[in-house]
Structure 1
Amino acid sequence: MSNECDFLRTLEDVIDDRILSKKQGSYTYSLYLGGVPLITKKVGEEAVEVVVAAMANDKDWVIRETADLIYHLLVLLRVMGLSMDDVCRELRNRHKG
């Protein structure tokens, strides 16, 4: 059975490519240029949108907004020199306790 979340690694690679290639016109690269202040603003906006969608009990909307949130979190992690592996390691460590 395929794990759809395996795509997160691919998405991290795409984000890295857009940043390293300085791809003009790329939304990812424009976020990178805006730095942590811009990216964290987007993370906050997307988090609020997830909450609003959940409060509306709209599952499709929650999925779409969560995808936006995860994408922006991935960009933030990459700009800070981190990855989902770091986050997963922390989650695994918490599970051990």
Structure 2
Amino acid sequence: MKKPLTATALMLAFAGVLCVMPAQASEKLAQRHNCLSCHSVDKKMVGPAFRDVSRKYRGQSVQETLVAKVKEGGAGNFGPIPMPPNAGVSDADIQKLVKWILSL
């Protein structure tokens, strides 16, 4: 009885690690591209909290719109302070970041 229980426990632990890894990887990506200089996951700083962005757009098909907004910069959706363009960030990284933000 102990062996099946141990195997099940190991599988559940591994599944838990897999569920957490994308979030950690995306937060590290945000850190690498200096997003966390103006944003945080759960509180407003210079820019909106990522969770607030996720809440505002929940249930909407806005992935490509937000990718363009991150790439080109802009203001007005969360206040008057503009977000500078992020032309130096690859499209693939912006796609990952927006997908992560919308998943929060």
Normalized against structure 2, the TM-score is what? Answer: 0.30
More helix by share: 1
Highest CA radius of gyration, 1 or 2?
Answer: 2
Normalized against structure 1, the TM-score is what? Answer: 0.31
